[in-house]
Amino acid sequence: MLENHELHILRQLHHWRSAGQRAVLVTVVHTWGSSPRPPGSLMALCEDGHVAGSVSGGCVEQDLLERHIRDAGPDALWNACTPRLLTYGLSSEEAHRLGLPCGGTLQMLLEPNPDIDLLSQAIERLERGALVQRTVDIDSGAVQLHPVDHPLPLRFDGKIVAVPLGPAWRLLIIGAGDIAAYVANMALFNGFMVTVCDPRHAMLDGLDPNQVVLSNSMPDDAVRAFQPDGRSVVIALTHDPKLDDLALLEALYSPAFYVGAIGSKANAQKRHHRMTEHLGVEPQTMDRLHSPIGLPIGSKTPPEIAVSIMAEVLAARSLVRQQAQAQEATAPADVRAFPIPPSRTAPSAPQFYQRAAITEVDSVIDAIGAQCPIPILRAKRALNAMRHGDKLLVLATDSRSAQDFGLFAAQTGNTITQHFEDSSGVHHFFLTKGHGRATA
């Protein structure tokens, strides 16, 4: 499985220590002005000169090796029993010598020869996808690992350094295809834990379950199971509004910091009309949607499109980081931060009604005149609110409905018990709510 950056560093550090080599774990705990790496960045140095991770463009790493690691004297880090703080860039001469940006200063915590057992515990938790807070007492060198249920910023009070570890950033991709594969790869290398959802079983065959989490749930169910938080991304890449819109109906009301959907400007306008006029989504909520998705770099091929998507996602993530560090931070002109609506102001359930004239049916959706995929989207939302065995009648006039509803029933685990078209051209679809379909 492709490892996130900090897991790779800890694995390498554990390998060196297990082989009997001396090594140092370096953590950036504070920065002033411009700096090459943010607080929480990790680096491991081995006595043989090998390096994992970085805290600068390379000059600080080299200086650490030459002045502090390879030193064989009594003040060498190897002879220290407790961690030490080290600051680079206090003078303009030193900053220039080390290649630090103008005015940039780094304060780092250096831990000599970290305990192998504690490294093993941290690695095991990260491999499970858990979030961990690693605390270091600078005076005593004592290290503790604490489970946390949400991402936390690095904290340093002058005595205790609390470093967050784990897959704080998560990405849910709806639709498994060439673009999704490239996006997933890029996201993994940028520290995201990736889930790919596609109810079309064959589409998932090209993805490696050892690299990403795979799901064949319906998109709206997948978003709810994913439970997006303020460090999550949801992007829809199927080009099929029956699937993409289902995901967006859930994701737009979640705390996800980025929600996007692939498609041309014309398709984006159609989606906006469909979701506001027929599915009850408020225009201000639709403003959260990035569509067409990605930065406008003239991309045509799947790899180029993936680059444009991840560039916009990473720009949005940078904004989240800035806002977490300073509330007064402002967004770049082309990366907008929209307030997340606290709740739906439109009815959370679709607008279906009871018809006493129709017997043995619990609910009815009147989608007469609405074009596909609106009948299916409203049916799925209605079924989400119903119990097993409940019966739903959908009235539709779009000629494509018959084929689409057959596929829809197979994908969702619901049953079409009857279908007919009356003399006026209205299709009657009688559906029974099922238990749902097993997911990967």
Separation CA 440–CA 419 (nearest Å): 30
Separation CA 80–CA 25 (nearest Å): 13
Is the CB of residue 174 less than 8 Å from the CB of residue 222?
yes
- Count of positions (residues) in the chain: 440
The helix (H) or strand (E) run that includes residue 173 is: strand 169-174
Q: How big is the CA angle at 425 (ends 424 and 427), to the nearest 5 degrees? A: 120
Q: How deeply is 191 buried, as exposed, middle or buried, from its count of CB atoms within 10 A (0-12, 13-18, 19+)?
A: middle
Which of 172, 165, 176 lies closest to 258, judged by CA? 172
Token digits of residue 8: 């790779």
Helices 302-325 + 178-189 axis angle, to 10: 40
Is the CB of residue 195 less than 8 Å from the CB of residue 173?
yes
Separation CA 171–CA 186 (nearest Å): 11
Half-sphere exposure of 238 (CA within 13 A, CB side): 23
Half-sphere exposure of 286 (CA within 13 A, CB side): 19
Is the CB of residue 64 less than 8 Å from the CB of residue 26?
yes
DSSP state of 377: H
- Catalytic status, residue 46: no
- Catalytic residue numbers, as ranges: 372
